[in-house]
Amino acid sequence: MLSILVVNWNTRNLLSACLRSIRQHAPAEPHEVIVVDNASSDGSADMVRVEFPEVKLVASAKNTGYAAGNNLAFAQASGDWLLTLNPDTEFVDDSLDRAIGTLLANPSFGVLGIRQVGLDGHVQRSVRGFPTLAGIAGDVSGLGEKLGGRWDSYRLSRFDYGQEQPAPQPMGTFLLFRRAALAAIGDPKHPFDEGFPIFFNEVDLLYRLDRAGWPCLYTPRAQVLHHGGESTKQVRKSMIWESHRSLARYLRKHHGTGLAGVGLPFLTAALYAAAFVRARGYDAGFRP
């Protein structure tokens, strides 16, 4: 069975289009759709109840954040395949079946990312490497694109989106997980670290899976239309601060010791300085 898990916050119309596309291009695999609504104020939950009675709705009394919202969905899911899907996406073909077929044909991979296409018809650059001090420095300085190698290990500017290949961390817009892989690193009903409420939670999860021998695969043979960032746009300043704070926490969690840890305080300070500039001032950021 496939469990399709959608966490929503104030994107009623996009969520409706997403659920309609799943209904229209339903996979041959038995499936369930679970929507966690994070206390939306735009009538999203009522819309799901009325227009999509087949969907299992979890209506949270508060905005729990993306990681905790996903954990609520995983706790309800019964599938061997578990798809985290953003509400600002739409299917246009049988890509759900193709995605499952791809993971079935590649049993050594625990996760799948697929081609993401924007409203302009262009393929979105949706795959990055795991953050490291060198990779972040190369991205910020622009050296990564010029020099490649470890300096480009985060941005992956040379990634070929037309080729099926391992992909460290695709965007969390569409991630199809194998339940057996999640079980290898902990509780498959609570896979996300809620210390990353909005950003880098999927990066942290993919990194832990990769370290456990369950890497991620990217395929261009399946695709999804992606509007892009419609929830976070509503609170942009807070999200800038939260994204930088979450990156700093990720680096502390996974690279906070040894030689890498020596440079971490300086990079953390640089990240907060960048957040201040990008957000044009301080903001406490998102907290559930």
Beta bridge partners of 178: 81
Q: Are 132 and 153 in contact (CB under 8 A)?
A: yes
Mean pLDDT over 20-42 rounds to 97
The residue ranking higher by pLDDT, 146 or 115, is 115
Q: Are 123 and 161 in contact (CB under 8 A)?
A: yes
- Mean predicted lDDT score pLDDT of the chain: 88
pLDDT in tens, 212-221: 999 999 999 9
- The whole-angstrom distance between residue 234's C-alpha and the CA centroid of its chain comes to 18
pLDDT in tens, 83-116: 999 999 999 999 999 999 999 999 999 999 999 9
Domains and CATH numbers, the chain: 2-126+161-230 (3.90.550.10), 234-279 (no CATH)
pLDDT value at residue 197: 86
Phi, psi of 7 (to 5 degrees): -105, 125
pLDDT in tens, 181-196: 999 999 999 999 999 8
Q: Where are the beta strands (DSSP E) in 12-119?
A: 31-38, 56-60, 81-85, 89-90, 111-117
- 90/82 Cα distance (integer angstroms): 17
pLDDT value at residue 138: 85
- 40/46 Cα distance (integer angstroms): 10
Task: Give percent of the chain above pLDDT 70.
Answer: 83
pLDDT value at residue 235: 46
Q: How confident is the model at residue 269 (pLDDT cuts 50, 70, 90)?
A: low
pLDDT value at residue 23: 98
Q: Indicate if the pLDDT at residue 270 is higher than 80.
A: no
Q: Indicate if the pLDDT at residue 136 is higher than 50.
A: yes
Mean pLDDT over 235-240 rounds to 61
The residue ranking higher by pLDDT, 234 or 110, is 110
Whether the pTM exceeds 0.75: the reply is yes
Q: Where are the beta strands (DSSP E) in 9-123?
A: 31-38, 56-60, 81-85, 89-90, 111-117
Mean pLDDT over 255-261 rounds to 58
